[in-house]
């Protein structure tokens, strides 16, 4: 695939789907001796565990300071875990939320950085959070940025902090940044991996529609042989997430206003395999992770379709070994089985 096709995809996604990618800010940090967090009043807050971790384990809170080119200033906090035997060659995995196999990843010699994306962009259609303090969401459709892109921006600012001294403070390898997220944060991971080229490894998990599920591949009502993953001979998929759900008040904040103008998936001219293609490079690695069963809504077969199409493009570029897929049997999460697969694949890199 030529560079112009990739450039066209970048422009399309910024104008019509996810919004404008922002960069060029001044970024610094401080390592907090004591957390400044206050526990959320609502235990259903998806990041409630982040606050509990701040006072109950060995991690450190890192405050990130960002100043926009226009001089606006904001801060947000991330939670960092470093292996006990970390050296200056320690890779690090930025997680858009706390992940389940925390200890398994640390045992692989990889540091973890947990983000709280709600600090940067609230998960609603109100466009509130420190990102929007810097870059307000206005009626100007050429300047809008949706929440998925804003969450990716947050991860990019963490990478900036690593390059600006956090690597030396925590023995991290700035050249070995990885990123992951599940579900809506899997979508944001795919978006971030396409635009932030400094991520060496990109791992979108169970990302579904608006992520790596092909717009025009519907598995609803279709049956598949799941014996390869220990499932039944015939597994029939239920409802896939419709476009109307992505455009509802619950989810439309993830996108820009022009995305709301599409009436059906087949009107969207750019297929989602372009997101991993935009991340393709000799020194970068891409893992499509999902579950085969119980993932009717996020349309696992459509994510496999994206993987197959992206792999074909990678092979044309001589990068066939740089993209892999691992679909576990069940679980809307990054699980220990996925961690083993990913780190085994990266062991020779």
Task: From 216, 167, 207, select the one nearest 183 (Cα to Cα).
Answer: 207
Position 59 scores a pLDDT of 87
Q: How far is CA 129 from CA 64, 109, 121, 332, in A?
A: 14, 33, 4, 27
Asked if residue 339 has pLDDT above 70, the reply is yes
Residue-wise DSSP of 279-318: T--TT-EEEEEEEEES-TTTTHHHHHHHHHHHHHHHHHTT
Position 37 scores a pLDDT of 67
Asked if residue 193 has pLDDT above 80, the reply is yes
Q: Are 135 and 141 in contact (CB under 8 A)?
A: no
Q: Whole-prediction pTM value? A: 0.95
Over pLDDT 70: what percentage of the chain?
93
**What rounded mean pLDDT belongs to the chain?**
94
Asked if residue 335 has pLDDT above 90, the reply is yes
Per-residue pLDDT reduced to its tens digit, 33-76: 877 666 666 666 656 666 666 655 678 999 999 999 999 999 99
| Structure token pair of residue 203 | 């791992």
Per-residue pLDDT reduced to its tens digit, 217-265: 999 999 999 999 999 999 999 999 999 999 999 999 999 999 999 999 9
Position 33 scores a pLDDT of 81
Position 338 scores a pLDDT of 98
Per-residue pLDDT reduced to its tens digit, 92-136: 999 999 998 999 999 999 999 999 999 999 999 999 999 999 999
CATH of domain 3-24+79-346: 3.40.50.1820
Position 48 scores a pLDDT of 63
Q: Are 60 and 78 in contact (CB under 8 A)?
A: no
CA pair distance 177, 199, nearest whole angstrom: 5
Position 6 scores a pLDDT of 94
């Amino acid at each position: 695939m030529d560079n112009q096709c990739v450039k066209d995809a970048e422009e399309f996604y910024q104008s019509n789907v996810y919004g404008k990618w922002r960069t060029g800010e001044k970024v610094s940090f401080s390592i907090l001796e004591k957390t400044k967090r206050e526990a959320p009043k609502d235990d259903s807050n998806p990041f409630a565990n982040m606050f509990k971790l701040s006072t109950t384990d060995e991690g450190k809170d890192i405050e990130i300071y960002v100043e926009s080119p226009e001089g606006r200033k904001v801060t947000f906090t991330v939670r960092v875990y470093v292996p006990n035997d970390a050296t200056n060659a320690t890779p690090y995995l930025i997680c858009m939320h706390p992940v389940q196999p925390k200890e398994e990843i640390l045992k692989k010699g990889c540091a973890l950085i947990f983000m709280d994306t709600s600090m940067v962009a609230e998960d609603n259609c109100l466009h509130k959070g420190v990102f929007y303090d810097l870059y307000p969401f206005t009626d100007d459709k050429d300047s809008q940025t949706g929440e998925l892109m804003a969450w990716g921006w947050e991860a990019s600012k963490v990478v900036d902090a690593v390059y600006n001294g956090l690597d030396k403070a925590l023995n991290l390898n700035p050249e070995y940044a990885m990123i992951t997220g599940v579900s809506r944060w899997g979508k944001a991971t795919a978006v971030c991996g396409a635009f932030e080229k400094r991520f060496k490894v990109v791992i979108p998990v169970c990302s579904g529609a608006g992520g790596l599920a092909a717009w025009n591949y519907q598995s609803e009502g279709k049956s598949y042989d799941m014996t390869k993953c220990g499932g039944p001979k015939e597994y029939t998929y239920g409802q896939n997430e419709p476009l109307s759900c992505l455009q509802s008040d619950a989810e439309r904040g993830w996108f820009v206003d022009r995305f709301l103008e599409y009436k059906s998936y087949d009107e969207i001219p750019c297929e989602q395999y372009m997101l991993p293609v935009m991340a393709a490079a000799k020194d970068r690695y891409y893992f499509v992770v999902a579950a085969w069963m119980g993932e009717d809504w996020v349309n696992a077969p459509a994510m496999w379709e994206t993987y197959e199409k992206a792999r074909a493009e990678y092979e044309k570029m001589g990068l066939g070994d740089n993209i892999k897929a691992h679909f576990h049997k069940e679980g809307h999460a990054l699980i220990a089985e996925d961690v083993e697969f990913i780190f085994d694949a990266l062991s020779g890199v």
